[in-house]
Amino acid sequence: MPKAKIPAAMGRIYERVWVCMRCNAKLRTDSRRVLTGSVKCRRCGYKGLRQKSKERKV
Ligand SMILES: [Zn+2]
């Protein structure tokens, strides 16, 4: 198996990782679905999700 494809794949995976702002559970889903409000946390049902990779509010 060629290892050259791994970095690109990793980047795409992280774009799809979201974190619940209530219980910090990680979710993998399309950002479109999150923005349309059709996705909620599996663990607690909360709809407040933030994207893990990009956002930095300090
Ligand atoms: Zn949650």
Is-above-0.75 flag for pTM? no
pLDDT for the residue 9: 62
The string of pLDDT tens digits covering residues 1-57 is 666 676 666 656 557 899 999 999 999 998 888 889 899 999 999 999 998 876 555
pLDDT for the residue 15: 72
Q: Which domains are seen in the chain, by residue range?
A: 6-51 (2.20.28)
How far does residue 57's CA lie from ligand 1's centre (Å)? 20
How far does residue 26's CA lie from ligand 1's centre (Å)? 8
CB of 48 closer than 8 Å to CB of 20: yes
How far does residue 24's CA lie from ligand 1's centre (Å)? 6
pLDDT for the residue 5: 72
pLDDT for the residue 43: 95
pLDDT for the residue 16: 85
Using only C-alpha atoms, what is the Rg of the chain?
A: 13
How far does residue 50's CA lie from ligand 1's centre (Å)? 11
Return the amino acid letter for 19.
V
Return the amino acid letter for 57.
K
Return the amino acid letter for 56.
R
Q: Which residues sit with Cβ closer than 5 angstroms to ligand 1, an ion?
A: 20, 22-23, 25, 41, 43-44, 46
